[in-house]
Amino acid sequence: MPAEIARRVGSSRGPEKSKTETAYKRLYRALAEAERPAWEKYLRDRVGEKGWNGETLEKQLRRLPRTVPQGHRWFLLKVHFNAPITKARIAKAVGGVEAETCPLCRQETETIEHFAHCPAVLDAYARVQRGAGLPPVPGGMQTLMLQEEMDGGTRAGVIAFYVAAWATRRTCRTLDRRITTEQLADVIMTCLECPWLIHCCSTTTQKERRAGRIRPPPEVSEFCAVYRSDGASRRNGMEDGSQAGLGAAYWPPGSLGKGPPAEKAKEYLGTGVSNNVAEYRGLQEGMRRASRRPQDKEVVFEVDSMLLAKQMRHIWACRHDSISTIYEECCELGDKLTEMGVRWSIRHIYREYNQAADSLSNEAIDEPERRWATPGW
């Protein structure tokens, strides 16, 4: 019972006020965890009724990069439950009202399925695709229902495009204003370049506030190979500690670290592994591969862990017993690269620019039975 949980937690933690708060936070998490299976089944059944694979959608939801904004996640959730408000839905609910046409193309009845394949939206996508680093084909409902395999950064970019297009469509509907495909593309490109603009639902969370502070990493030279790595550690209801995984991705010289990675790897690390250790293991995976490729004479390793970047650059000391061993192993790999004549460096990047490795590390946790890497890794 709640009172019993409060009494047990309160007997060992903090001043009187914080005891109850901590207890009820734990109680809420326990209730949410208990509710999870029922809601996951409900989601699978709902999308299954529409002909989509519910298990694939659920798996890809867990693998979304942590940096996908909350507003983008809400948009996806509404699409999965067929909840976006369109004139076709309003006409069906009210009855006797004629459904209006799409405010972007002014050709067909406005539905979420039409929006995903709207000629104006597809034309705008073709205009921004190269500049935004998106795949040639947006995918439509197949992408929004998360039925396709793609790396985390590409998926986040396509979702951001559809969210910006949907927000622009909503504004055109509200103001009863026509917009050309050139103007639509300009608005969407601005939203993609400036993620702190209001094209997702308002929020006061720390993650959303930091969106205004993120900056892209400095560009590398065309002769530089880029490795990005990440580690994930999540509890998943485990009694014996959290589960962890690593992800690493490689971009060859000339790619400037843009677009989908050329090679990638992921590995399940087991239970009881901290997030810092998982981050180091991800870096170690990339450094090992770099040591097997002496043809890459200039290499940069990018990580979203400030602790790891500072320690590997010897700005911060490494004194914690849990990571001292893996830290020394990574330093030895760095010495090996130097002896091979490789000019290498390590730098911190915002996790918004590390989505490919982020997604891989989460995939590793969901597939604990095996290590996986592309043939060229």
**CATH code of the domain covering residue 287:** 3.30.420.10
Cβ contacts of residue 119 below 8 Å, gap of 6+?
105, 107
Q: Is the pLDDT of residue 10 over 70?
A: no
**What does 338-363 look like in DSSP terms, one character per residue?**
HHTT-EEEEEE--GGG-HHHHHHHHH
Determine which of 107-116, 187-196, 202-211, 228-237 has the lowest per-residue pLDDT on average. Answer: 202-211
Let me know whether 117 and 181 are in one domain: yes
Let me know whether 309 and 355 are in one domain: yes
Whole-angstrom distance, CA of residue 293 vs CA of residue 341 = 11
Q: Are 190 and 197 in contact (CB under 8 A)?
A: yes
pLDDT number for residue 90: 76
Confidence of residue 223 (pLDDT cuts 50, 70, 90): very high
In a domain, 219, yes or no: no
Let me know whether 87 and 188 are in one domain: yes
Look up residue 167 and give its two tokens. 């927000």
pLDDT number for residue 238: 47
Average pLDDT, the chain: 85
- Provide mean pLDDT across the span 2-17: 58
Let me know whether 73 and 204 are in one domain: yes
In a domain, 107, yes or no: yes
Total domains, the chain: 3
Name which residue leads in pLDDT, 235 or 292: 292
Mark which of 212, 246, 267 sits at the end of a domain: 212
Let me know whether 204 and 244 are in one domain: no
pLDDT number for residue 32: 84
Most confident of 176-180, 281-285, 347-351: 281-285
Q: Is the pLDDT of residue 44 over 50?
A: yes
DSSP letter at 25? H
Confidence of residue 172 (pLDDT cuts 50, 70, 90): confident
Look up residue 270 and give its two tokens. 């087991």
Whole-angstrom distance, CA of residue 33 vs CA of residue 303 = 31
In a domain, 25, yes or no: yes
Q: Nearest 5 degrees, angle CA 134-CA 207-CA 160?
A: 20
- Provide mean pLDDT across the span 294-316: 94
In a domain, 340, yes or no: yes
In a domain, 235, yes or no: yes
pLDDT number for residue 96: 63
Domain that holds residue 279: 225-373
Q: Are 276 and 322 in contact (CB under 8 A)?
A: yes
In a domain, 114, yes or no: yes
Confidence of residue 199 (pLDDT cuts 50, 70, 90): very low
Let me know whether 187 and 229 are in one domain: no
Q: Is the pLDDT of residue 15 over 60?
A: no
Let me know whether 233 and 199 are in one domain: no
Let me know whether 159 and 182 are in one domain: yes
> Could you tell me whether strands 343-348 and 372-373 are parallel, antiparallel, or unpaired per DSSP bridges?
unpaired
Q: Nearest 5 degrees, angle CA 299-CA 290-CA 218?
A: 25
- Provide mean pLDDT across the span 117-132: 91
pLDDT number for residue 261: 94
Mark which of 189, 212, 235 sits at the end of a domain: 212
pLDDT number for residue 198: 47
pLDDT number for residue 255: 93
Let me know whether 67 and 22 are in one domain: no
pLDDT number for residue 372: 92
Give the full edge-to-edge strand order of the sheet including 263-271: 343-348, 298-303, 225-234, 243-251, 263-271, 372-373
Q: Is the pLDDT of residue 202 over 60?
A: no
Look up residue 354 and give its two tokens. 């590390």
DSSP 3-state of 44: helix
Confidence of residue 312 (pLDDT cuts 50, 70, 90): very high
Let me know whether 175 and 100 are in one domain: yes
Whole-angstrom distance, CA of residue 146 vs CA of residue 188 = 21
Let me know whether 285 and 318 are in one domain: yes
Q: Are 343 and 297 in contact (CB under 8 A)?
A: yes
Mark which of 156, 185, 212 sits at the end of a domain: 212
